[in-house]
Amino acid sequence: MKEIGFIGLGIMGKPMARNLLKAGYRVTVFNRTRSKAEELRADGATVADSIAEAAKCPVIVTMLPNGPDVRKVVLGSETAESADRSADNVIDYAAPGTLVIDMSSISPVVSKEIGAELAKKGIRMLDAPVSGGEPKAISGELAIMVGGDEKDFEEAKPLFDVLGSSALLVGPLGSGNTCKLTNQIIVAVNIAALSEGMVLAKKMGTDPEKVFQAIKGGLAGSSVMNAKMPMILAQDFKPGFKIDLHIKDLNNAIEAAEANGSPTPLASLVREMMKELHEDGNGQCDHSGLALYYQKLTGTLIES
């Protein structure tokens, strides 16, 4: 598995592809904006002119914004019903036995649909979304949640070990994205609660920095708090994971929950906060920018 086609070089995809190159993999990269692919040429990547060219590799990794994007790249159309099918895709050019590893965060329903179509051509698939944002993508310490066949997972494990600090097979195809949607609900609610509590501290005249230091080792402490509180204190919302992308994930989570009769009152509330931030022009901010929602409500900055 030393030859990989990597499709999608955004905030997450580019550092992930770079880490594979550093680990000695032969990586052929493709991105709609070619300049992003060209940036990796100096790292040793081969730049493909088309999806079809990248699809000729025995292993294909996709890292794309949402389900319609993955479906279009892999199957040639954004929806199952679409008659407008692109000739530049994975399914028509990948050889039987190829392993497609979709590391995008999409609906598990879409993962299963894509996997079923690939299986008709003898092409295998894992859904393997990640958590950790840009910093962990750069450091190679992502948490990777995988759905699919156990033999395919074991084959892909050395690749996952380059990209992440943990990789766990959660269940059959679609389980990886089910796990990721669960993760995204928990992260979103954590950031909202952190912002809400710290605004209270500030308005009551207590230094949020000292509150953070006092509570981070206790039950309220979390990886979310440790990663996001310094950004909030610095009022630095440069995106590691954008609010708009988190809205997409919560949309997928809530849609899946509704289809399965699972309640999502907290996720739905935080999604509305994020939608308001989007309307205010903050959709490209990091999701720690949920603090901006509370700061707007109160006119109070969360800072020392």
C-alpha–C-alpha distance, residues 192 and 187, integer Å: 9
Percent of the chain with pLDDT over 90: 93
pLDDT in tens, 119-160: 999 999 999 999 988 999 999 999 999 999 999 999 999 999
pLDDT in tens, 165-186: 999 999 999 999 999 999 999 9
59-62 and 99-102 beta bridge pairing = parallel
Same domain, 43 and 118: yes
Q: Using a cut of 0.85, tell me whether the model's pTM lies above it.
A: yes
pLDDT beyond 70 at 44: yes
pLDDT beyond 70 at 1: no
Position 47 scores a pLDDT of 97
Q: Which of 180, 202, 228, 248 is catalytic?
A: 180
Position 192 scores a pLDDT of 98
Position 87 scores a pLDDT of 87
Same domain, 272 and 163: no
Same domain, 229 and 251: yes
pLDDT beyond 80 at 80: no
Q: Count of residues for the chain? A: 304
pLDDT in tens, 81-114: 776 888 899 999 999 999 999 999 999 999 999 9
236 is a domain residue: yes
Same domain, 221 and 83: no
C-alpha–C-alpha distance, residues 188 and 11, integer Å: 19
C-alpha–C-alpha distance, residues 99 and 299, integer Å: 52
Q: Bigger pLDDT: 108 or 79?
A: 108
> Do 267 and 188 contact (CB within 8 A), yes or no?
yes
Same domain, 27 and 49: yes
Average pLDDT for 40-57 = 96
Position 156 scores a pLDDT of 98
C-alpha–C-alpha distance, residues 236 and 282, integer Å: 12
**172, 202, 237: which is the final residue of a domain?**
172
Average pLDDT for 5-28 = 97
Residue 99: give its domain's CATH number: 3.40.50.720
**145, 172, 199: which is the final residue of a domain?**
172
Average pLDDT for 201-228 = 97
Same domain, 185 and 261: yes
Average pLDDT for 237-266 = 94
pLDDT beyond 90 at 2: no
290 is a domain residue: yes
Same domain, 76 and 203: no
Same domain, 160 and 196: no
Same domain, 290 and 244: yes
Same domain, 153 and 188: no
Same domain, 165 and 27: yes
Q: Bigger pLDDT: 259 or 59?
A: 59
pLDDT in tens, 283-303: 999 999 999 999 999 999 999
77: left (phi over 0), alpha (psi -120 to 50) or beta: beta
**Number of domains composing the chain:** 2
Q: Bigger pLDDT: 277 or 87?
A: 277
Residue 240: give its domain's CATH number: 1.10.1040.10
| 3-class SS letters over the chain | CCEEEEECCCCCHHHHHHHHHHCCCEEEEECCCHHHHHCCHHHCCEECCCHHHHCCCCEEEECCCCHHHHHHHHHCCCCCCCCCCCCCCCCCCCCCCCEEEECCCCCHHHHHHHHHHHHHCCCEEEECCEECHHHHHHHCCEEEEEECCHHHHHHHHHHHHHHEEEEEEEECCCHHHHHHHHHHHHHHHHHHHHHHHHHHHHHCCCCHHHHHHHHCCCCCCCHHHHHHHHHHHHCCCCCCCEHHHHHHHHHHHHHHHHHCCCCCHHHHHHHHHHHHHHHCCCCCCEHHHHHHHHHHHHCCCCCC
Average pLDDT for 254-280 = 96
Q: Which range marks the domain in which residue 88 is found?
A: 3-172
242 an active-site residue?
no
Same domain, 22 and 143: yes
CA proximity to 164, closest of 253, 109, 224, 101: 101
